[in-house]
Structures are given as structure tokens and as C-alpha cells.
Structure 1
Amino acid sequence: MLVYENTKAGFLDGALEAQLVPKIKQGYQSQGVGMGSPGEVRSWKNSLQYMHSVLSGSSVPSDAGVAIELKIPLTSKRIDFLVSGYDAADSANVVIIELKQWEGDSTERVETQDGIVKTALGGGIRETPHPSYQAASYAQLLSDFNITIREKPIELHILAYLHNFEAQHRETLDNDLYRPYIEQAPIYIRGDAKKLRAFLESQIDVGDDRENLYAMNEGKIRPAKSLQNSLLEMPEERDEFTLIDSQKVVFERAVELTRRCRRDGQKRTLIVDGGPGTGKTVVAINILAELIQNDMVAQYVSKNRAPREVYKEKLRGDKLVKEIEHLFTGAGSFVETESNTLPALIADEAHRLNEESTFFGRGENQIMEIINAAKFNVFFIDESQRVHIDDIGSKDEIEKHATELGAEIEESTLESQFHCNGSKGYIAWVDDVLQIRHTANADGFDLDFDLRVFDSPEALHAAIEAKNEQTRLSRVVAGYCWEWEKDGRADPDATDIEIGDYERSWNLDDSDPWAIAEGSIDEVGCIHTCQGLEFDYVGVIIGDDLKYRDGEIIVDHEARASTDRSLFGIKKMFDEEPEKAAEIAEELIKNTYRTLMTHGMNGCYLYCCDDELQEYLGTRIETISTTH
């Protein structure tokens, strides 16, 4: 969808008459989208003046197409500026220009991450994709999913124009570190206007009166054969993607419902209930790959970055196929998506969905937005894993919005257990121990599962390190009771968690998924970096937010770190609605430890900061060992 389109001549006239920004605003409003802050409006005025200067003295034909803000399939992202026409060989060409307001003195390289830089954004210095990476990824998305671009064909030429970026800082961005992306999308900075003009002239020899822009804008979306080939063998080559029992049943049902939606146009929602270790994410990834193979556009959706990044890496394996990047997206991506735009969306960890979809408070309800955006949607959910005060994901909430949007609803359940060595009994025992619910497993469970309490965090961590050398993947995690200091988040020498002589860093803030990153065995993960994942052995440090007093498990929300947003607003709620606040705090803190304790397939090692809780858990585990 285009916000603004015109010929080169019309664009230049509009700039001279100061009509461009009003027309862009009007274009946004016609699509029901706000243009943004006054700062964003000023940025547009600034950038368009530079593009006016580039085009006004050029030999680019006056009837060449010019467009501003083309929405990219499968995302809420838009391409800043496009110029279209034909070259001397009569090939259809579109030049994609990513415009940036960046200045050199506030921009720096990030050498430990792939395609990432730091610059001034949103009132601070933040990490963001390199402009060449950003432009190249947009072009890749268009090529992978827009049929017209592939079949006409339309050649895409991409670049980034940083018109405020001073020449003395060129080496910051135009650097070998980013060479693979710069070769795809060259960088033009302040003083490069003539070079940029010459490039446009070399690509646009004959005007098209916007013909190629319209063709792109109206092109149907369907996955490219190259993308299908990339995905074809990936799950088959990795044993961890094999489906068994109820997983296979849910997979086949989801694929069949998607086909039905394509045939009859009826909207459908499938709700899949699955406890810890039932393989929800494995089924979700298999559905994604299968739908892409069947010429249907689909995306894997989750609020948490951790499962998206980990399973994206696992799916790639050693192939490092960049094309699959855009098949994994966040839950806030569909605020502006029109109804039934996509054939299918696969929402994993649906219990973590929120109402407001962005940091700026936009969006109404993520569940509603996902259902609205696709003809078919499947939600994988475990209501007992809601761990954040903003989590709204429940079967009732999904059914409510599906009904309102005219979707037929089905429910299914995943039974097979992968975590905890295949035992529902252990999970029931955890529920009883944490006093979430009384179960028949109060005295134990019948399975070969390595469950221990350690006298010190040092001993626990050493045991998990040893298991990690013997098994596929083992990690230490903890309740969020220690501050995650901003200055040390990327520093492996910084320590956050201190318990006596035990000192460790929280998971480092870098581009690699913590659970599978090199060196992460030395760190400690939290619920936000491991939810939705599984380990062979998990070591759990229970902080002071969970205690044992007079036969009761009690929670202490004030022991949570201030950097943890999971209980943000709970103190105010305690002042206004103390009973409700206490109920929410108990549910979320207990759910957090239930989730952490059920993420080991073969074993769970525990250490408690609270002495009485340590003694209580030790006694409960001793009871198991003497009865089995």
C-alpha cells in the first residue's frame, strides 16, 4: 500500500509548493494510520528536500514514478522512497531508497553483532540494523513474496541515503564489518548527492508513469520457490523437528483447516492447549514450513524474542539462510494489517500476548489483531505459563475475539511430554509443591528424573556446567530478583547476581539467542530468555520472591528487581485493590518458578535463597527418593 505516489514532475512541483507533507499526512489518514510525532514530520520535510535536490537537476525522465512509504508484505514496515521506470535495455527497474536522519558523531559500530549499529534514536543511543542491512532485508521480503516482482520481472536496486551524515565519519558505517550488506545496498552520505543522482540516471532511462509502482503495490503475495527450497529440507534434517502422537494430529489438522480457508473463504481459529514440554513450538515450526511449501504465506508469531530467535537458528542449522528471517515476527506486528491479508498466522506462547502492541501504546489487542490479520490462525497456549502482569492470553479471550470476527473455532490438546522425561506426574508434583493446586502426586512421581537441591549456587552451577559438557544443552536460570544493570548488559565481566561468594552475570544483551549462544553456560538466564525453550538439564536459582513460612509457600513481590517489568504497577494495585493485587502477584511468581522448574527434559537442580524454602524442598525431594 502506497502512502504517496506521483511522477517525478509532480513530486518536484509538490515540493516547491510545500504540498508533499500534507499529502503524505492525507495518505496516512486514508489508511487509518497516524503519521507520527512532530519530530517525524520534521524528518520528512528534511529528507524530502534532499530528494528534491537530487532529482531536480537530473536527467531522470519527468514521467518516472515516485512513491513514498510502500508497505512491505508480512510486516508493518514501509519503504521510505522509490523511483520507477525502465533502463536503456527496456528492463523494469525500481530504486528503493532508505532515508536516514543520522549524524556521524552519534553513530558507532557494534562489532560483536551482525549488521547492527548504535545511533541516536528515540531520545537515546540505541542498537538498530545497519541502513544497508535494513534496505537489503526490505528488498528480500519483496522479492520473496511479491509475485509481480518475480514474474514481470521488476529489478530492485537498493541503497541508503544518510543526507546528514558527515564525511569524516564515513568509515563508521562504510566499513568491512558491514561489507556483505553494503555490496547489496550502497551508502550515500552528505556530499554524495551528485553520485546518487548519477546512479538514478543510470537505472531510470525511460519513464513509466508509475506503472511499475502500481504493479508492485497490487501484486499478490505468495512465497517464492527459492524460499520454499530453503525450507524444504530443514525440518527433515533435524531430529528435534520430528512429530509424534498428538503432535502429528494437531499438525495435520492445522494444515487441513488452512486449506479449507483457502477453498471456501471462511475464517477459522484453532486453539491448541499444551503444557510444558508438549512440543508446542516444534509443531508450530512444522506447520510454518508445510504451509510455505504449499504456496501459502504464513508467519510464526510470538511476543517473546527468545523462542523466535532460537528456533529460527535451529531451523537454519548451518545454512544461515537469511531468507527465513521475515517468517518470524513479534506479536505487535499486525496493528495496521487489514483484515484477512494473510492466509495463516501461527501464534506460539499465546498466553504471553498483550493488549497494547507497541512501546508507544498503539494497538488494541494482540489476540484480536492476529485473528483479524489472517484467514486461519492457530494459538498454542498454556494458561499456567502467564508470568507478566500484562499477559492476557487465555482460551476465553481467544474465543471471544474469534467469535466477534466471524471465525469458526476448534480446540485441540497436545498430550505427549518431552520435558521432564515424559511425565505429567512431575509437573503435577511441582504444582503441589508450589501450592498452585493440590494433586495426587503430592508424594512423588514414577519416573527416572534427576531432581536435586544443592547447598550453594556454586555447586548447582558447577553441576549444570558438567551436564552441559555431557548432554546437548543445559543452562542455569533464576527468578528475576537481581537488577540487570544497563551499563553492564553487554559486558561479560560485569556481575549482576551475587549470593555470598557466587557472582554471575545475567544473560548478555547481544544478537545471539542466549539459550544457544556461545558462553551462555557461564551466565544466568531469566524467564524472558528461556520461556518457550527446553534444556536437557536446568538449574533453577529461586530468589527471595518465593519463601516458605509456617507450612505455606508465600510470595514477596517486593523482592523482584526494579528492572523486571513483569509486575510493573503491582504496588499501585496493592494500594487500590489489595486482594486482587495479592492474587495476581501469587499467580505470576508461582507460574514463573513452575515454568523454570519444568524446562529440563532429564533433570532439574534447585537452590533457594530462602533457607526455609530450601529445607522444605529438600524434604519433599527426600520423600520421593524413599518411596520410589
Structure 2
Amino acid sequence: MGLNPLFRGTVGEVRSAIENRQLIPTMAKELYRLTGRSPGDGEVRSWENSIPHVCGLLEEAGLSDVQMLVELKLPITDARMDVVLVGSHPGTGDLSAVIIENKQWTRVALESELVQVTYGHSRRTHVHPANQVWGYRQMMVGFVPLLRMASVTCVANMHNANREAVRSISIARLPHTEPNPEYTRMYGADDRKRFVGTLRSVLSPEKAESHTRELLSATVRSTEPLMTSVARGLGQRSLFPLIDEQREAYDYVRAQVERVRSGQRKEVIVIEGEPGTGKSVIALELMRAFNAQGVDAVHATGSRSFTRTLRTSIARGRSATSRKFAYFNNFDEVDGNHINVIVADEAHRLRAHSRKNSKKPQVTELIEAARVPVFLLDERQNVRPSEVGSVELIRRAAADLGLGFHRINLRHQFRCGGAPEYIDWIDQLLGLSPNGGPQPWSPVENFELRVAAAPAAMEHFLQARMAEGAGARMAAGFCWSWSPPGRDGLVNDVVIGDWRKPWNARSDSHLGKIPPSDLWATDPGGFGQIGCIYTAQGFEYDYAGVIFGGDLVRRGQRWESHLSASKDYQVKREGDFDELVRKIYRVLATRGLKGAVLYSTDPETNAFFGQLGIPRLDANGGRL
């Protein structure tokens, strides 16, 4: 996991590239090399307008030999910072960095935690620039240990806004101030002298080149699994800062709580995003914030495994805290607006009704129960016939109740090494993407994909990663029978040649060191068993081993789904089996934070994986 800018050079070198009209083409080429996409027109205009402004400030400050890292990628995500300046601190000579977020806004207004920006005749809310750049600082310091002993300043550079506009959204006006003013600044067009003074006070060109090499080659600590983070309890912020759309969603919900308190119209909020975009992190950060403020908030899911894990990790037997974690079907008899906030996580798992005799749809029960109902979902994770959660379902329910509706789409990836290219590739592989079918695998930064010739090679590879301190799990399609425990423990139901493993335990309590099914993904004893969609969905681990069974095989240019090979009677009972089984493997293949290993029991399918250019493992799990 590295830190990669689109352009690196001294201020003088950046200025020269601008004058020679080489800066933008070079950045565009590097962006395409790293991500496979070209910059949009808006990005290019932003670069053309803001980068010369920053160069001018540094030249005025006498800091032309300071290093500029333009569009530097944040650790463990695909988000990028506009500019990071690197030099020495004038007082100590130690590494000093300044993170700059450029904004071209002119007309702004504070709206609770958010900023309302006027564009011609329209308006749109955005993350407050101070919160945005503070999140970048928190992520850099949190995930790059080198920076914990360095000077790291962050600046929101509103270079088109006058002093009055900047003052109207000053950090001091935020209802819940989080950016530390010691490290965070906001400057507008009228603040050039003060901005230059700040740069001189925290930056010197001394050792800028060596400090930059040190930073770009620094160790980046990978994100810890979500459940490890939340185990610290609801009283603190986690070590996982929210940035950009994640922060916008978080602040929008908190602002809506204040609006409803002041008598404004009730609104239904939907936050959607693909695997790894931070949906559950947002949900739990909201719970932390509301818990600290004394706001009555309940986290709800349709997953027994997820809710039980939260109760185990956070509540730890405290009944008052346990009641904050509920199921979707717990609200069929709750009075209207009885709860301040319901955070409905994994809302793609909503059922049509909570019970057979329920008078209302489950989504309506949840909306009516809370003053502020919030739904987080990924529509491509409906993997059971009974799961009906979708953005359109929630929108229609809000409209039927005469309520407002607000939708936020999360873009940046945190899971899968911050590599959205892998998510897109999996969707194309499984025929779930509107952008075409399977594509050759091109290695991406921060995520390792492998194919194993045998399940034992997969197991050896994952064991080696665990020996290095990573977490790993193996999961499979539901293509083997599932026996209850015998006298000697779990039965080795998953049999592939001479390789045998048990499914995860079906019990509600530990069997020695073997965890119950609901804790398979998070308990240290879970690696020895094979998980399935019911125990893997909603969780994450460093490396995911995925065993494709005979229920989905590749024949020529298409996938074939075989209902007869499945032992999942829930999925076989009804619904579009072909689509559901491909969605199941999508979920299993996107649980890994750092990497994944694919293996199919069908030789033709496994050969197909290799033909796509996925690097192979040797028989002992070594990298070839």
C-alpha cells in the first residue's frame, strides 16, 4: 500500500510544467496508468485553476524548493488530496507536511455541519471544507506511522471566496467542532498574506527532497477490520476517519436530527454504495455520535450474525447497550416517531413483511418508527429470494407516506485495498456489470488477487498471510451438505479430492475453540472452518479465499448456473437462481481488505480464471 501522486516536483518544476503545458497531460497519463480512467473535464478545470494559485503562494513565501505532491492518493482508499507540500519544519528540521484542499466556491452558506454552495441558479450541499481536509489529515496521521512525529498542517484554500464568505462558514460556527484549530486553517482570496505567513511558519525547503522520498516510501498501516475497531465501544470515535461522501452522509444525518427537532419536515435518507465504501462504518460512527450526545438511536439489520457480533463486540452483556442493536422485524409494534433515529444497515436485506400477519411492509414500519430513518444499502447484495430492499422500494414508501427523500451515493473504496478497479472487475467477471463481461486481470495497487490450482494451495497461502499477522477466511458456495456436529466435533462436509474441511459451526455457543456461526468471521478460531454467504456477508477480513462450487461454472463464453448442485434450499425454493448465485459469489469475493484467492472445483472454470491473467499459486501456496 503506497502513496502515489499524479505529479511530484519542486514548486519551480511544477511551474515549469505548467508553462510548457506538460502538467495536465502528465497527470492525466499517470491517472490512467494507476486507475484505468481519464480525468473528467471538471477535474482538469480544477487543476488548471488551483495548482498555479498554490504555486504563486509558495513563490511569494520564498518556498520554491519545497516539494509539491499533486493529487496524492490517500492510504487505504482511492481518494486523492489536491496538493501535499513537503519540506522541513523551520524550528526543528523534522519532516513537515501541509495538506491543501482547493475550493473554487464563491457563494457559500453554513447549513448545520454542511456547506451550501450556489452554482448559478442551483444550490448543493457539500462536506464542510475544514471537515474534509481534517479527515485527510486524520487518515494520513492514522495510517502512515512516519507522520505521527511530524508536523502536519491542513488548509482549506477557498481562493475564489472573499473574507466575508469564508467567515460565514468558519470553523468556530460549526455545531460540533472536530477539526483541531491548531492544525487546521481556512483561507479565502483576501487572506493571501496570512496564508503565506502560515506556509513560512511551518515549511522550509531544507531536506525537502529526502523527506519526500521518505514519505512516499513510508510504511502504510492497513485498516483494521471493522469489528476490531468498534470493539472499543460507543463512547469514542473510531480510528477510521470519514472522508468526502462518507463525511457528507454522516453530517447530513446529524443535520437532519437538528432539523426535525426544530419542527422541519421529516425525511427519509438513503445512503448507497458498493462493498467497501464505508456504509457500516458510517452507521456505527453515527451511533457513536448520537450516543455521546444523548440522542436516542437504534442500529438495525436483517442479519443475525452482524447484530450478534455488534452486541458481543460493543454491548458485552450490558442490556441497555444491547437494546441499541436490533433487527428489522423488531419495529412492527413500535409507535410512530417513538425513536429519534433508526440506522438501518444492510437495508438490501429488508423483507416484504416482518411477520406473516404484518399489516404494513417492513420498510414502512421502520420509516414510521423513527423521526429520522436512515437506510444504508448495496442493491447488488440481495442474495436471498426474500430480500427486497432497494432504493426504489424505500423511495416509494417515503412518497406513500408523504415524506421527503434524500439519496447519497458513496464513491470512494476502502475495502479491497481501496481498489475500485477490483470491484468493477468482479462485477464484469460475474456478468453483473452494465459495462461488459469478463476482462483480463490487470494488477492494481494495494490489492493482491491469485488463483489456486487446488484448495490446499489456497489454504497454505492464507495460513502464510496469517503468520505475517493478517486475518483470513475461506468461504464457499453452498454446494455441500451441512451435517450437525458429531461426537468428535464438526463433520468434514466440504470434500474436494483428498482435501476435507467442515462448514462453520451451526451452534449458538463455542464448541471448544470453534466459534458459533454468528461469530465465524470475527472470532480468531474461525479459520479452520469454511464459511458461507450467511456467515460472510456484512463482514471483512484481510484475505478472502473463495471456493466456487458446481452451482456456477464457466462454459465457453458464458456462465452456467446449476440448481441441482446447490444445497441452499432457501435460494432454490424460489427466485432467479442464476442471478442470486452470481451475487453470492460477488459478496464472497469482495470480503478481503488486502487480497483474494479464487478456486473452482470445476477444472474448466478454474482454467478460465488463469486465462484471464490472474497470477497462480504453486502447490504449497507460494507466489509464482
TM-score by length of 1: 0.56
Cα deviation, residue 252, structure 1: 0.9
Other-structure match for 2:270: 271
- State the SS of the aligned residue for 2:330: coil
Q: Deviations over 1:258-282 (max 9, x none)?
A: 2212221632111101100111111
Q: Please give the per-residue CA displacement for 1:149-194, whole angstroms capped at 9, x wherever unaligned.
A: xxxxxxxxxxxxxxxxxxxxxxxxxxxxxxxxxxxxxxxxxxxxxx
Flag the structure with higher helix content. Answer: 1
- The offset of 1:490, in angstroms, is 10
* 8 Å contact kept, 1:232–1:293: no
Shift of the 496–272 alpha-carbon distance from structure 1 to 2, 3 Å rule, reads: same
In structure 2, which of residues 324, 328, 353 is the aligned counterpart of residue 327 of structure 1? 324
**Alpha-carbon distance between aligned partners in 2 of 1:367 and 1:484, rounded to the nearest angstrom:** 33
Residues 537 and 600 in structure 1, CA contact (< 8 A), matched pair in contact too = yes
Equivalent residue number for residue 450 of structure 2: 452
SS at match of 2:254: helix
Runs of 5+ in structure 2 lacking a partner? 1-229, 510-515, 618-624
1:340 paired residue number: 337
* Partner residue of 2:530 out of 524, 533, 551: 524
Aligned length, in residue pairs:
377
**Aligned to 1:515, what secondary structure does the other structure show?**
coil
Q: Alpha carbons of 1:304 and 1:233: their partners in 2 closer, same or farther (altered >3 Å)?
A: closer
Deviations 1:46-102 (A, max 9, x none): xxxxxxxxxxxxxxxxxxxxxxxxxxxxxxxxxxxxxxxxxxxxxxxxxxxxxxxxx
> Structure 1 CA distance, aligned partners of 2:474 and 2:557?
28
Task: Specify the code of the residue in structure 2 equivalent to 1:398.
Answer: I
How far apart in 1 are the matches of 2:502 and 2:252?
44
Partner of 1:67: none
Retained in 2: the 8 A contact 1:443–1:624? no
Provide the residue aligned with 2:574 in structure 1: 569
Residue 497 of structure 2 is aligned to residue 500 of structure 1: yes
Q: Label 1:241 to 1:339 Cα distance change in 2 as closer, same or farther (>3 A).
A: same
Distance in 1 between the 2:401 and 2:488 partners? Answer: 47
Is 1:417 the equivalent of 2:423? no
CA–CA distance in structure 2, aligned partners of residues 510 and 240 of structure 1: 31
Q: Match of 2:439?
A: 442
Match of 1:469 among 467, 470, 473: 467
Cα distance in 2 for partners of 1:265, 1:438 equals 39
Is the CA contact (8 Å cut-off) linking 2:274 and 2:378 kept in structure 1?
yes
Q: Secondary structure at the match of 1:567?
A: helix
The Cα RMSD (Å) is 2.6
Q: Match of 1:369?
A: 365
Q: 1:518 to 1:623 in 2, by over 3 A?
A: closer
Alignment deviations for residues 422-477 of structure 1 (CA, whole Å, 9 cap, x no partner): 11111111111112225378233432421111111122123223323323421111
Cα deviation for residue 320 of structure 1 reads 6.0
- Is 1:433 the counterpart of 2:432 in the alignment? no
Alignment CA distance shift 1:299-1:609 (3 Å) = same
Whether contact under 8 Å (1:371, 1:405) holds in the other structure is no
Q: Following TM superposition, by how much is the alpha carbon of 1:334 offset from its aligned partner in structure 2, in angstroms?
A: 1.0
* Equivalent residues in 2 for 1:170-569, closer than 5 Å: 234=233, 239-264=238-263, 266-315=265-314, 321-358=318-355, 362=358, 364-437=360-433, 439=435, 442-445=439-442, 446-485=444-483, 487-488=484-485, 492-508=489-505, 509-511=507-509, 512=516, 513-562=519-568, 564-569=569-574
In the alignment, the residues of structure 1 paired with residue 254 and residue 297 of structure 2 have an alpha-carbon distance, to the nearest angstrom, of 11
Q: Which has the larger radius of gyration?
A: 1
- The answer to whether the 8 A contact 1:355-1:390 is kept is yes
| Structure 2 CA distance for partners of 1:320 and 1:357, relative to 1, 3 Å | closer
State the AA in 1 paired with 2:430. Answer: L
Q: Which amino acid aligns with 1:248?
A: R
SS at 2:613's partner residue? helix
SS at match of 1:605: strand
Q: Does 1:614 align with 2:606?
A: yes
d(CA) in 2 for partners of 1:569, 1:596: 21
Name the structure 2 match of 1:184. none
Counterpart CA distance in 1 for 2:433 and 2:494 is 31
Give the fraction of aligned pairs with identical amino acids, expressed as a percent.
30
Amino acid of the structure 1 residue aligned with 2:528: D
Q: Matched residues in 2 for 1:517 and 1:547: separation?
A: 32
Contact 1:452–1:621 (Cα < 8 Å) also in 2: no
Query: Using a 3 Å threshold, how does the CA distance of structure 1 residues 520 and 531 change in structure 2: closer, same or farther?
Result: same
User: 2: CA distance between counterparts of 1:569 and 1:244?
Assistant: 40
Matches within 5 A, 1:64-83: none
- C-alpha distance in 2 between matches for 1:286 and 1:297: 14
Q: CA deviation at 1:362?
A: 3.9
- Partners of 1:473 and 1:623 lie apart in 2 by 21
Match of 2:172 in 1: none
* Residue 585 (structure 1) shift: 1.6
Unaligned runs of 5+ in 1: 1-230, 571-583
Q: Deviations over 1:498-528 (max 9, x none)?
A: 1122221211123451111242110111111
Where does residue 143 of structure 2 map in the other structure?
A: none
Contact 1:351/1:392 (<8 A) preserved: yes
Cα distance in 2 for partners of 1:282, 1:325 equals: 18
